[in-house]
């Protein structure tokens, strides 16, 4: 029996090349950027190096399957304005990566139907639609842990 190992680790400087490859695929560019303008290694480095170095309060992560990079995610603290918009108390700390998480909030673009379907299949449910200039901009998803549902 083959047991796969999924892990999440902080992005390193050596990950820029794989990020440039991912950000240049048709599937990614369809939802992130211009499908006719793949990302260069220098563009990726310019964007992610300050995050990897800790100069920007957005922490990038690489998801690996059996030590092979398969995905990207990031973590950041919601500012007070966003916390208010999502209905959280002013002084609460809202993050989504922890072994003892009570709640995870996602905010995919409404146009990213594949991601939304994936989140729904994983147990997330829509909790709020964000309207920006009379356009449906984002869905907020929430998955309630057993701990929270008690």
Task: Give pLDDT tens digits for 128-150.
Answer: 776 655 544 445 555 443 334 44
Which residues on adjacent β-strands are paired with residue 138?
109, 130
The verdict on pTM exceeding 0.85 is no
Q: Domain check: are 17 and 68 in the same one?
A: yes
| CB neighbour list of residue 24: distance below 8 Å, 6 or more residues apart | 38, 39
Q: Domain check: are 71 and 83 in the same one?
A: no
Please report the pLDDT score of residue 26 as a whole number: 82
Q: Domain check: are 68 and 91 in the same one?
A: no
Give the lowest-confidence range in 2-6, 76-80, 125-129: 2-6
Answer whether residue 41 shows pLDDT above 80. yes
Structural domains in the chain (count): 2
CA 44 to chain centre: 16
Distance separating the N- and C-terminal Cα atoms of the chain: 35
Q: Domain check: are 70 and 82 in the same one?
A: no
CA 93 – CA 76 distance, rounded (Å): 10
Closest C-alpha among 110, 51, 108 to residue 76: 51
CATH number of the domain encompassing residue 33: 3.40.630.30
Q: Domain check: are 54 and 28 in the same one?
A: yes
Q: pLDDT band for position 110 (50/70/90)?
A: confident
Q: Domain check: are 70 and 97 in the same one?
A: no
Task: Give pLDDT tens digits for 55-101.
Answer: 998 889 998 888 899 888 888 877 777 777 767 776 666 654 444 45
Which residues on adjacent β-strands are paired with residue 57?
none
Please report the pLDDT score of residue 137 as a whole number: 43
Please report the pLDDT score of residue 145 as a whole number: 38
Q: Last residue of a domain, which of 76, 96, 129? A: 76
Q: Domain check: are 72 and 84 in the same one?
A: no
């Amino acid at each position: 029996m083959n047991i796969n190992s999924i892990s999440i680790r902080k992005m390193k400087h050596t990950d820029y090349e794989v990020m440039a490859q991912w950000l240049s695929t048709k599937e990614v560019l369809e939802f992130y950027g211009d499908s006719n303008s793949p990302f260069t290694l220098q563009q990726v480095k310019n964007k992610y190096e300050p995050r990897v170095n800790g100069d920007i309060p957005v922490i990038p992560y690489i998801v690996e399957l059996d030590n092979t990079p398969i995905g990207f995610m990031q973590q950041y603290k919601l500012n007070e304005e966003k916390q208010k918009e999502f209905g959280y108390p002013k002084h609460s700390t809202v993050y989504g990566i922890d072994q003892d998480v009570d709640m995870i909030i996602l905010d995919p673009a409404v146009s990213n139907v594949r991601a939304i379907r994936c989140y729904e299949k994983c147990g997330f449910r829509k909790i709020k639609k964000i309207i920006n200039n009379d356009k449906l901009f984002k869905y907020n998803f929430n998955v309630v842990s057993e701990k929270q549902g008690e």
